[in-house]
Amino acid sequence: MATLQKIRNRGVFIGIIIGGALLAFIAGDALKSGGSLLANSRNEMAEIAGESVNIRDFQNRFNHSLEINKLMSGQNSIPSEQIERLREQVWQQMVQEFVMNREYDELGISISSEELFDMVQGRNIDPAIRQLFQNENGLVDKDQVVATLKKLIAAPNGTPQKAYWLNIEESIITQRNLVKYNTLVQKGLYMPNVLVKDMATKGSKKVDFNYIVKSYNLIPDSTINVTESEIRDYYSKHEDLFKQTESRKIDYVSFDVIPSTEDYKATEKWIVDLKEDFTNESNDVQFVELNGDSDFNAYYFKQDEITNADLNTFAFSADNGDVFGPYFENEMYKMAKLHEVKMLPDSVKARHILIRPVNGDYKGAEAKADSLKTLLDKGAKFAVLAKENSSDQGSAVNGGDLGWFTQGKMVQPFNDAAFSSKKNEVKVVLTQFGAHVIQVTNMSKAVKKVQLAIVDRKVEASQKTIQAAYAKARTFAGNNLDKNAFEKASTADGLNRRTANLKRETKLIPGLENSRDLVRAAYNTDNMESILLNNDNSAVFEFGNKFVVAILSDIKEEGIASIQDKVSEIKRAIRKDKKAELIVAEMTKSSAGAQSLLSVAQKENLEVKTATGISFQSFQIPGAGIEPKVISTASMLEKGKISSPVEGNQGVYMLVITNENSDEVSDVTVQAFKSRLEQGYQYRTNYQAFQALKENANVIDKRYKFY
C-alpha cells in the first residue's frame, strides 16, 4: 500500500497541480435536488442561476471537505484562518459547478469512460496521476497504477485512501471539462490581419516631444459656478460612471476596558505576596511556569545586555538565589531571581547533520542519528556523512557547516546543545525539525553570563472594571436609540465616533478584533439609523477589550448611485470641464501665429517639458502621469507642428514632436505580434469567460446570514 500512502502524502501537492480543485465538485446532485427542502427561506444561503442553495447542503459539503483536509494533512484540528479559507474555497467551487455544468450540458461537453481511462492509465495520463505513480526515471509505472486501483476497488467504503482517490478522479474530470470549454472559447477568438498590422505599425512608432501643460488647479474652484440643472444633466448622461456595489455604513463608539488604579494595586500585591515563596523555592523553572504569565526564558545574558539598568546591576553582583523586585515593566509587575551563572562563549561555529522523521517517526530519526554519531566516534568524516545523509541541503553541500551564530539564533534544544558543548564534541539532539548530529568546531572566548528566573503578571482589568465599562456602554445604547441622539450623545460625552464602510464579505473591522458579528448585524437589518443588535438582542458588542455600540447609518444598494451621493463628484467633473474650456480658449489665443512652443510657453508663463520614447501603446508619460489623449495625439501628430490644446487629466496640453523613429514592420513582425495578442486574449479567456457566465447566472450570496 505504499502508493496509497503516497496518495495521502501528495494530497496537498496534487491540489496545487489541479488549481485548488482537489476538494471540489462532489455531491453535486444533492445540491441540485435540494429545492424541496427550501420551504423555509431562512435556510437559504444563496441563489445561483435561479436555483436555491440550502445552508444544510453547503454545510454538508464543507464538512466533507474539512474531513478530507484533515485526512490529507494528518491533523485532527484545522486553524480557524484555514477553516475560513476552506469555507471560501468550497463556496467558489460550488458556484463554479452550478454555472459551468449548465454550459457543459448545453454544449455536450463530458468525459467518456474511455477518456477517463486514458487520463488515468492510458497514453495521456493526467499530471496529477503522473505525479503519484512516476518512478525514479520520471516514467509512469502503469502496472503500479493497475495494482493500486485494484486495491482501492477492494477497499471498504470510507477508507481514507479510497476517499482521496475518488476526489482526485472527480477533480481531474472537472479540470478536463473546464479545459475543453476554455479551448472552445479560445478557438472562437479571431484577430483580423489588417487590424493586427495597424496595431503593430502604430506600436512600432516612437516619438520624442516637447510639451507644456496648464494645470486645472490654477483656476480656483470658487470662480466656477455649477448649477443644479447642470448637475442633473451630467448625471443623466454619465450614469455608467456611477455604478456601485452593495455596501453599508455604520457609526460606532467603543468603551475600552482599561485597568483601574485598583487593578494595578491588586496586581502589585499579588506579586509582593509571592516573593517569600519565590525566594525559598528550589525549582525556579517550575515555579515560573506555574505562576508567571510568561514562560521561563533559558537565555544567558552577558554584562549590560539586560536593558533594565537596575536589574543588570543586580544580576552581576548578586548570589545565586537572590531575588530582585518587584518592579514594573511593560505593563507587568515582575520579580527576577538569579538562577544560574556560567562562563559561556558569545558565539560558536558548528556543523550538523539533520535527519528528518519519516511519517512522524522521531525515534527512528534519533536511532539513525545515534548510528551516525557512532561512525563519527570511530573516525568517519563529518563532511562526508553530512553530504550523504543530511536533510538540510543548504548546509549539507558545505559538509553540514552552519557558520558562526550567537545565542538565541537557533531553536532552544539546538541552542542549548551547541552552547554547552566542548570544542569538537559530538552530540545528538531532537528538535521539531528532527534529530540533529551536532559538532561545535570553534567558539569565542567564554565570558560571565547569567540566567534569570522571572515571574511576571500582566496588569489586567478586574471583573469590577469590566462590568463598569459594560454598564457605560449599555447605558449609552439604552439612551440613544436613533442616529441624532447617538451623534449628539457621543459628542457631548467626548467619545470618539468612528465610521466603517462594510461589504457583505468583510471579515474584520480595523481596530475591532473578531468583529464579523458586527458586520452580520449590519446586514441582518434594513432599519436605517437604528442601533444594531447582536445575536443575544443586546446593543452592546464585545470585541477583545472593547464594548461597542453601533448604528446603521447608510445603505447603498448595488446599481447606480443616487445623485445625492455623487453631487460632490459631479461638481468636480463639471468644474474640470469648464476650466478646460477656459484654458483651451486662453492657449488657443496665445498660440495664434506662434512659430514655436517656447513662445506659447512664455506668453502663458509655463515651462517647456520633454517626453521621450512614447508610442501609441505607452501607458503613461513620465513626469506627467496617465494621459491617454496626449499619448494618442503625439502618436499621430506631424513632426514639427504645434498641436492644438489637448484636454488631459491634469490640465490642458500643447506639444510638438521633436523626433520620431519606427521599427521595421515585416510579415514576421506582424505574425509575432499577432501571436502575442492571441496568447494574451487566450490567457484572459480562462478567467473572463467564467466571470461573464457567473454574472449572467445572477449569483445572490446570502452567506452573511450564517457566517
The answer as to whether 149 is a domain residue is no
One-letter amino acid for residue 161 of the chain: Q
pLDDT in the model for residue 158? 67
Asked if residue 356 lies in contact with residue 391, where contact means CB atoms within 8 angstroms, the answer is yes
pLDDT in the model for residue 107? 92
pLDDT in the model for residue 262? 96
Asked if residue 498 lies in contact with residue 252, where contact means CB atoms within 8 angstroms, the answer is yes
Final residue of a structural domain among 522, 538, 557: 557
pLDDT in the model for residue 38? 37
Q: For residues 27 and 63, what is the distance between their CA atoms, to the nearest angstrom? A: 12
Residue 669 dihedral angles phi and psi, to the nearest 5°? -60, -45
Q: What is the DSSP letter of 316?
A: T
Co-location of 571 and 657 in the same domain: yes
One-letter amino acid for residue 394 of the chain: G
Co-location of 573 and 651 in the same domain: yes
Q: Which residues of the chain have pLDDT under 70?
A: 1-41, 72-74, 136, 158
The answer as to whether 644 is a domain residue is yes
Final residue of a structural domain among 343, 362, 395: 343
One-letter amino acid for residue 159 of the chain: T
Q: For residues 400 and 413, what is the distance between their CA atoms, to the nearest angstrom? A: 18
pLDDT in the model for residue 29? 38
Q: Give the DSSP H/E element, type plus range, for residue 609.
A: strand 609-615
Residue 363's domain is classified under what CATH number? Answer: 3.10.50.40
Co-location of 427 and 355 in the same domain: yes
For the stretch 624-678, pLDDT in tens is 999 999 999 999 999 999 999 999 999 999 999 999 988 777 888 888 888 888 8
The answer as to whether 374 is a domain residue is yes
Final residue of a structural domain among 379, 411, 444: 444
Co-location of 437 and 494 in the same domain: no
On the question of a cis peptide bond just before residue 326, with omega within 30 degrees of 0, the verdict is yes
CA atoms within 13 A on the CB side of 241: 12
pLDDT in the model for residue 42? 77
Q: What is the DSSP letter of 282?
A: S
pLDDT in the model for residue 74? 67
The answer as to whether 20 is a domain residue is no
The answer as to whether 470 is a domain residue is yes
Structural domain range at position 498: 246-258+462-557
Asked if residue 626 lies in contact with residue 619, where contact means CB atoms within 8 angstroms, the answer is yes
Nearest to 506 by CA among 498, 495, 497, 515: 515
Q: How many domains does the chain have?
A: 4
Nearest to 65 by CA among 19, 11, 13, 24: 24
Co-location of 415 and 355 in the same domain: yes
- Strand-strand pairing, 243-244 and 347-355: unpaired
Asked if residue 44 lies in contact with residue 38, where contact means CB atoms within 8 angstroms, the answer is yes
Co-location of 402 and 480 in the same domain: no
The answer as to whether 145 is a domain residue is no
Cβ neighbourhood burial of 285 (10 Å; 0-12, 13-18, 19+): middle
Co-location of 620 and 646 in the same domain: yes
The answer as to whether 527 is a domain residue is yes
Asked if residue 356 lies in contact with residue 365, where contact means CB atoms within 8 angstroms, the answer is yes
Between the CA atoms of 426, 429, 435 and 437, what dihedral angle is there, to the nearest 10 degrees? -10
Q: For residues 11 and 13, what is the distance between their CA atoms, to the nearest angstrom? A: 5
3-state secondary structure of 503: coil
pLDDT in the model for residue 469? 96
3-state secondary structure of 49: coil
The answer as to whether 351 is a domain residue is yes
Asked if residue 337 lies in contact with residue 284, where contact means CB atoms within 8 angstroms, the answer is yes
Between the CA atoms of 306, 308, 314 and 320, what dihedral angle is there, to the nearest 10 degrees? -50
pLDDT in the model for residue 135? 72
pLDDT in the model for residue 198? 82
